[in-house]
Structure formats: structure tokens, C-alpha cells
Amino acid sequence: MWDAAAFRPAMKLDARQFPALLRDPSRCRLALIYGDDEGQIRERSQLLTRQVAGSVNDPFLVVELSRGNWGQIPSEMAALSMLGGRRVIIVRDASDAVLGPASQALKGPGGALLILEAPELGRGKLRSFAEAAPDAIALACYPDEGRALSDLVTSGLADMKVTIDQDALAWLSRSLSGDRAILRSEIEKLALLAGPGGQINLEAARACAGENAAGSADEGVLAAMGGRIEAADTGVEAAVQDGLAGVAIVRIALSLLQRLHQARLRMDDGETAADAVRFMRPPVFFRAQTATAACLALWSTQQLLRALEEARQTELACKRTGSRQELLARRLVAGLARQAAARRQATHF
């Protein structure tokens, strides 16, 4: 683990290492913050700006340069503050085109910090420069998932004096995804729902987040597993239109498949479908219990394993640079719906 005491710029950081940089950014003159999560990029840029300049909007210490003014970077980096303190120069939507003035600035005098915000920046000259320059860092920002997403929800609610139970946290961790700014907004909605000192349970989480795209995706994936093709398409389309990322839809499908597989194993050991559904975790919302049991009647253990592998491969495909996540998600859900529909039709003969 990287720590501030051993800090040397000229390196690529990940999200876990950012707090150490934040504690001591004194030896860093250029911070390239890039990735797919624009909200997280902006959040980390603001945190770093506030740490260095004391504020994100101090007119004497914080300067934002538009694309047409990138040539001013060297002079702005060399300028001294009228009232003392370390200046921050911010460039938004940075690309390889900023490399010339940025590299020139680092060769010159001045103790200012240059922050380059670069959403969706690919592997190129700017990243290579930031990872190699002796007084620069490159920080990748990708959508929160897994443990990082759970920690973000828990800590965000704790900051507002709200707790969350494990079932609700598990449901939110697979339902929420995407841009950090959107996640923060959802966390604030949950905190307002609970109030200071309150707790979010599964029903409250569904009532709040279920109103948005995650709820539509949940319904669409469940419909697909039950062979209801039109309802599956409607649910997924609503989720996409509400802004849910394709990879989040895939993860919702993956989570349901995992839970159905565990329930199907219970049925293989002699339990009824209704009992198997009652033991699913997170618990199945009561309005969806009948539909979930119907899904178990259509899928064998081996069929669910194959579907799980397909979902895992789709998730990996969604993470590749340039992937069309929504198309991949639609293809996965539609394929599951067609398989289930064929089995429903076969049982009617």
C-alpha cells in the first residue's frame, strides 16, 4: 500500500491511494485525473483543489483555463499569488492536445498545482507523460462497484447520521451504479427518507431507489427469467432511458441469476419453490415472490450455471474501452427472455 511518507510523484494511482496523496500533495505539480466516471473525476479534483488552495472558488488561488487558453498554462503555473498560498490551475476535458503547454510548465518555475480533468481519456501521450514525469501523478476514476460501492453508500449515509441494514446494503450495491455524482444524489435521497438517526431497511431502499432506473431493470430482468419477452424489453428500455449504465443492468441480471441458482440448489435437495424463494438473500420483495418461484420452474441448475457464465462474460465485455454497454445488456436480457419463453411454450404441450 502506498503511503504519504513514501510519496514519490511519477506514478499511477488508484482510488485507494488517493487519500494519501490528499494528505500531502506538496511535491505534486501535475495531477491527471481521468476515467469513465466524470462525477468521481470532478469530486476528486475538488477535494485536491480544496486541500491545496483552501477553497474551490478562491479567485486569487484557483484559475480555470478553457481549451482556447491552454497556452497560458506555463505562465499561470509560474505566477505567484498576491496574498500568498499555493495556486491551482484547472483544465477540464483535457486531451493529448494539452501535453505541450503542460510539459513546458513543469520545466519552468513555480509551485502551483496543475489539475487536468480528462473524462474517458484513452491510453496516449498525456497519460504516459503523467505516469512518468518526476513531479506528476495519474489517477484513474472508474465507476464504483463491489466493496467500494458498499463502502461509499455506508460512509455517505453515516456522514448524514443514517445507518443501513445488510439486506438493504446488498440490494443497493447491485442496483446502484454509474457516475459518482448520481450515486451521491441517490445516497442523499435515502438519507432524507430516513432522517437523522434513522435506518434504511430493504423496504425503504426499494421504495426510494425502486422509483428510478434500478427498479425498472429489476423488473425487466425478472420478467426475462420468466419468459415474458415484452415486459423484459420494457423494463430494460425504461432503465436505459432513465440513465442506468448497461453494466449496471448486467450486474442486476448477474445478481438475480446467482440467487436463483442458490434457490434451485435448495430445490434439488427437496425444498419447494416457495420455500426456496423465502430463503433467498437479499429477501425477495413480496410482490415478486410468485414471479420468482415461476422462474425457478423454468430453469434447471445447469441452465442457470450456463446463464451465469454468459452474464459474467457480458460484464467483462462491458468493461472494455469503447464497448456499447447498453447494447450488450439488451442482448443478454433478450437472450435470457427467449430461452425462458421457449421453455414456457414447451411446458404447455
Indicate which CATH number applies to the domain containing 106: 3.40.50.300
**96-105, 161-170, 298-307: which has the minimum mean pLDDT?**
161-170
Tell me the pLDDT band of 21, cut-offs 50, 70 and 90.
Answer: confident
Confidence band for 4, pLDDT divided at 50, 70 and 90: very low
The amino acid at 90 = I
CA distance 182 to 164: 19
**In this predicted structure, what is the pLDDT of residue 212?**
57
One domain, residues 32 and 91: yes
Alpha-helical regions (H) of the chain: 18-23, 38-53, 73-78, 99-107, 125-132, 146-159, 166-175, 180-194, 202-209, 213-225, 229-241, 246-268, 273-278, 289-298, 301-318, 325-347
Q: Is the pLDDT of residue 79 over 60?
A: yes
Mean pLDDT within 86-103: 94
Q: Are residues 72 and 181 part of one domain?
A: no
**pLDDT reported for residue 1:** 29
Per-residue pLDDT tens for 238-290? Answer: 888 877 778 888 988 998 999 999 999 999 989 888 889 888 877 777 778 89
**For the segment 131-148, what is each residue's pLDDT rounded down to a tens digit?**
999 899 999 887 777 777
3-state secondary structure of 92: coil
* Whole-number pLDDT of residue 6: 43
Q: Give me the domain span that covers residue 284.
A: 212-336
Same domain, 31 and 75: yes
Asked if residue 182 and residue 98 are part of one domain, the reply reads no
Q: What does the pLDDT read at residue 184?
A: 81
Q: 130 and 175: one domain?
A: no
Res. 102: pLDDT tops 50? yes
Three cell numbers written together for 123: 491510453
Residue 115 CB partners (closer than 8 Å, separation 6+): 30, 31, 33, 45, 48, 49, 88, 89, 90, 91
Residue 229, C-alpha cell as written in the block: 419477452
Q: Look up the pTM and report it.
A: 0.56
Q: Are 148 and 122 found together in one domain?
A: no
The b/e string for 87-109 (b: 16+ C-beta within 10 A; e otherwise) is: bbbbbbebbeebbebbbebbeee
- pLDDT number for residue 178: 60
Summarize pLDDT for 300-332 with one digit per residue, the tens. 999 999 999 999 999 889 877 667 888 999 999
Q: What is the percentage of the chain residues whose pLDDT exceeds 70? A: 90
Most confident range (mean pLDDT) of 120-134, 165-179, 323-337 is: 323-337
Same domain as 132, residue 22: yes
* 117-127 residue pLDDT tens: 998 787 889 99
Q: Do the domain assignments include residue 347?
A: no
Same domain, 94 and 176: no
Measured CA to CA, the distance from residue 227 to residue 348 in angstroms comes to 13
Q: What is the rounded distance in angstroms from the CA atom of residue 343 to the CA atom of residue 345?
A: 5
Last residue of a domain, one of 194, 210, 226: 210
Residue 213 pLDDT exceeds 60: no
- The helix (run of H) or strand (run of E) holding residue 140 is strand 136-141
Residues 174 and 46 in one domain: no
More confident residue, 183 or 236: 236
Residue 228 or residue 176, greater confidence: 228
Higher-pLDDT residue of 26 and 143 is 26
Given a contact cutoff of 8 angstroms between Cβ atoms, the answer to whether 89 and 115 are in contact is yes
Residue 7: per-residue pLDDT: 47
DSSP label at residue 63: E
Higher per-residue pLDDT: 213 or 65: 65
Check whether residue 128 and residue 18 sit in a common domain. yes
- Measured in whole angstroms, the distance separating CA 68 from the mean position of its chain's CA atoms is 31
The pLDDT of residue 252 is 87
CB-CB neighbours of 46 under 10 Å:
14
One domain for residues 298 and 266 = yes
> Rounded mean pLDDT of the chain?
86
User: How many domains is the chain partitioned into structurally?
Assistant: 3
Say if CB 29 and CB 136 are below 8 A apart.
Answer: yes
Last residue within a domain, chosen from 192, 210, 228? 210
**Average pLDDT for 73-78:** 94
* pLDDT given at position 8: 53
Q: Which residue has the higher pLDDT, 7 or 277?
A: 277
Between the alpha carbon of residue 124 and those of residues 28, 42, 106, the distances in Å are 21, 21, 19
CATH number, domain with residue 260: 1.20.272.10
- Residue identified by cell 506514478 is 11
